[in-house]
Structure 1
């Protein structure tokens, strides 16, 4: 990260290549070819401008009015075609950028969300900060900068070869007498431009190299700060109840201090770089005139020839000084490419972690949930949460998982869902379309209440009246008027109301297999009882697996799985003395 290295460019190529061999490659190559053609046209027009300089300034020197107006007419035509080329070059470049970004964003989202990698990156890999920023911002910057820098390099190379011969011819030879020897340097302005550019590139690299890690860190610090702002917005009620504004303000300012300090370092470094590049580019304006002035005053060239030399020198020098003029952009590109490549490497490391550690075999099943010889471990692969667990759950059956906090109850649910990779054994699991998992804090996507109730497997064509009646039956009558309102409902609704919504998904989507991880923890026991009894009545063939601490949950399940610690467990039917209320509750509900 401290310098431009082959590894970064190699990984950057792996990011660039897939789009250019994808199904969209035909459109991409047509757009790229058009952009290159327009860029070459701009270079050609600049060559014609160079020839125009000679005619125009010679006309001025000779007070030739007719030639002056002819030259203005030529300028108008050249400027017209230059403007057209510049406008459509930009337009087509942006078109290619957005098409490429759409494709690459889709690819990264697939990689990020495949096999629950987005979850595992957050839980098991702490090196990938802010994946949202890498996908939304870094991809955009990487594409735009890759196109801009590569097309800029192409233009610089073409410009160099277009003008170097012109500069060689118009500058002529330079005769020097050194210790009595006559030395002739043909095309001396070309050598002057080359030496000038090499010197400038070396100094720029020395001054600007620290910008690479600084820009990398700036991206990270900005994303961290934004993430913490979003966290406060998402948890505004909790912060307000704790009266934690002062603490949060202090925390945010400490995060911003990282931005401030790093940006200050960037400012200082860019100031040094700008001191040099500004002086370098300003000297480049007068340098060719100073060098060519003796020939002009010796009347070996006219004013037009002098201006042509200056303009040609400027084009050659600018082409040779590509790194000098683009160093800040190159440093930004390097930082962005580094963030994307580390993101992709971390995704690959998670895939490797999944394949190495996950010896749990998942098999599809239509009629039961079967767990055979299942062992679950912590990420150290040494500490057992559960050893050799065996049980079956069939339709109409209900299982309650109990045990002290932190003993592995939720981890067992995660393992059944395919989220926890550390363990071995075999799980036969119904298809995901037939299952519904309810975490303690339900996920409510941003959108309408209709969208939330249908999420994830509901019928999109469900009538609104059905949804309104469902809300009313869940004691959420006031929400039935807001069914089509878009809101951040996770902040508007209390946790208890959110858990009602989660049960609403059960009654609406009618899954055959229901997995609940403390899904009624925020509800009172009466509400919990009514929801479970409604579940018995409306989905009598569905199987239910619950995690919870309340003893009242024994009333609604037939089997109890107790986790005892150090991998031990016990499985037993719930005794009649524990569940004597069940028949009464069923009668009362009926």
Structure 2
């Protein structure tokens, strides 16, 4: 899954240099986010001044501030589009590397149930998901490094927390505790999902295999056989849906609940008028960025579950290849 792409000199430009380019551009996007956060502060302060003191802000000044955002946003859009285009090619090259490796050992693995699916579908899904999760994880780390110092400084403006009182740098600790709570909650609630996803792919593969045999052999894919196999698919899916139900309840309850957390924490500061509207927007946005960074596992848990299922299938696939190679080497030595 990895050595065929990252340890093969044929793919050096894509695997190593391509990964470095993706990380660099991702960091640049984070820097643009920081610029947008700074713009929010000045822009909302301008709005507050215009509303509090009518006719003190000229339209040209207001328009110039809007154009500043447009400039940053345009750069962000161009960079994001080019990066996504490059990533799609990067993923396909990774799939090609895995495909070439598995196909070269096809005679050793063709007997494995779902072998065709693993080569045709799982390789693409694996490369896409690992790339997506990897970039998301690195973006979370980069965002954390960029916005945590900003939130740390902005927390100086927080006078006190409700029901607690003064706590130095309070918003940083609240963001960490909130994300930690959500991560532990979803890890516990979703503990059964990886196994169910893996089982789901097994019953799907069995059903698909019988249908494929039925295309070439009249005695295969009989209605009764297909009915039984599809019943297994149906039963497993319904079981999966049931477990995802309480997982989604926990996930969305947590994510929606955290929206209001920074406002409650800022309540005493807001009602006392200790900060301007611009500073408030900067704090809320920086808090959201830091919290999102800490919530990587929360936001990615469903994708991680899918990846674990694909990894198990491809790992078993590669183990069969290794065993066949070892058997050939032993036979040759004898």
How far 1:26 moved relative to its partner?
Answer: 2.4
Correspondence for 2:64: 70
Q: Is the 8 A contact 2:162 2:264 kept in 1?
A: no
Correspondence for 2:285: 311
The answer to whether 1:21 aligns with 2:15 is no
Counterpart CA distance in 2 for 1:349 and 1:204 is 37
How far 1:118 moved relative to its partner?
Answer: 3.6
How far 1:202 moved relative to its partner?
Answer: 0.2
Correspondence for 2:200: 218
Q: Greater share of strand residues, 1 or 2?
A: 1
Q: Which structure has the larger Rg over C-alpha atoms?
A: 1
The answer to whether 1:195 aligns with 2:189 is no
Counterpart CA distance in 2 for 1:302 and 1:359 is 79
Q: Is the 8 A contact 2:159 2:268 kept in 1?
A: no
How far 1:175 moved relative to its partner?
Answer: 4.4
Q: After TM superposition, list the pairs within 5 Å mapping 1:554-569 onto structure 2.
A: none
Q: CA RMSD in A?
A: 2.2
Counterpart CA distance in 1 for 2:254 and 2:40 is 24
Q: Please point out which of 116, 120, 145 is paired with 1:132.
A: 116
The answer to whether 1:79 aligns with 2:73 is yes
How far 1:213 moved relative to its partner?
Answer: 0.8
Q: After TM superposition, list the pairs within 5 Å mapping 1:13-412 onto structure 2.
A: 15-23=1-9, 24-63=11-50, 64-66=57-59, 67-113=61-107, 117-118=108-109, 122=111, 128-172=112-156, 173-175=158-160, 184-236=166-218, 248-354=222-328, 358=331
How far 1:157 moved relative to its partner?
Answer: 0.4
Correspondence for 2:54: none
Q: Is the 8 A contact 1:189 1:288 kept in 2?
A: yes
Query: Deviation digits for residues 215-246 of structure 1, max 9, x if unmatched?
Result: 1112222222111111111114x56xxxxxxx
> CA distance change for structure 1 residues 42 and 359 in 2, over 3 Å: closer, same or farther?
closer
Q: Greater share of helix residues, 1 or 2?
A: 2
Q: TM-score, normalised by structure 1?
A: 0.52
How far 1:214 moved relative to its partner?
Answer: 1.0
Q: TM-score, normalised by structure 2?
A: 0.90
Q: Secondary structure at the match of 1:185?
A: coil
Counterpart CA distance in 2 for 1:340 and 1:276 is 31
> CA distance change for structure 1 residues 65 and 216 in 2, over 3 Å: closer, same or farther?
farther
Q: After TM superposition, list the pairs within 5 Å mapping 1:431-442 onto structure 2.
A: none
How far 1:93 moved relative to its partner?
Answer: 0.6
How far 1:285 moved relative to its partner?
Answer: 2.0
> CA distance change for structure 1 residues 171 and 177 in 2, over 3 Å: closer, same or farther?
closer
Query: Deviation digits for residues 168-208 of structure 1, max 9, x if unmatched?
Result: 11122554799xxx974221101000000000000010111
Query: Deviation digits for residues 279-320 of structure 1, max 9, x if unmatched?
Result: 222222221122112212211101111121111111111100
Counterpart CA distance in 1 for 2:180 and 2:258 is 13
Q: After TM superposition, list the pairs within 5 Å mapping 1:4-19 onto structure 2.
A: 15-19=1-5
Q: Is the 8 A contact 1:20 1:28 kept in 2?
A: yes
Q: Is the 8 A contact 2:122 2:310 kept in 1?
A: yes
How far 1:359 moved relative to its partner?
Answer: 8.0
Q: Is the 8 A contact 1:101 1:140 kept in 2?
A: yes
Counterpart CA distance in 2 for 1:176 and 1:146 is 40
How far 1:92 moved relative to its partner?
Answer: 0.6
Q: Secondary structure at the match of 1:299?
A: coil
Q: Is the 8 A contact 2:175 2:287 kept in 1?
A: yes
How far 1:103 moved relative to its partner?
Answer: 1.6
> CA distance change for structure 1 residues 65 and 118 in 2, over 3 Å: closer, same or farther?
same
Matched residue count: 325
Segments of structure 2 that go 5 or more residues without pairing to the other structure are: 51-56
Counterpart CA distance in 1 for 2:138 and 2:259 is 23
How far 1:62 moved relative to its partner?
Answer: 1.5
How far 1:29 moved relative to its partner?
Answer: 2.5
> CA distance change for structure 1 residues 85 and 359 in 2, over 3 Å: closer, same or farther?
closer
How far 1:160 moved relative to its partner?
Answer: 0.8
Q: Is the 8 A contact 2:262 2:284 kept in 1?
A: yes
Higher RCO (CA < 8 A, seq sep 6+): 2
Q: Secondary structure at the match of 1:62?
A: helix
Q: After TM superposition, list the pairs within 5 Å mapping 1:469-548 onto structure 2.
A: none
Correspondence for 1:417: none
Q: Is the 8 A contact 1:55 1:304 kept in 2?
A: yes
> CA distance change for structure 1 residues 175 and 112 in 2, over 3 Å: closer, same or farther?
same
Q: Is the 8 A contact 1:285 1:310 kept in 2?
A: no
Q: Is the 8 A contact 2:160 2:269 kept in 1?
A: no
How far 1:65 moved relative to its partner?
Answer: 4.7
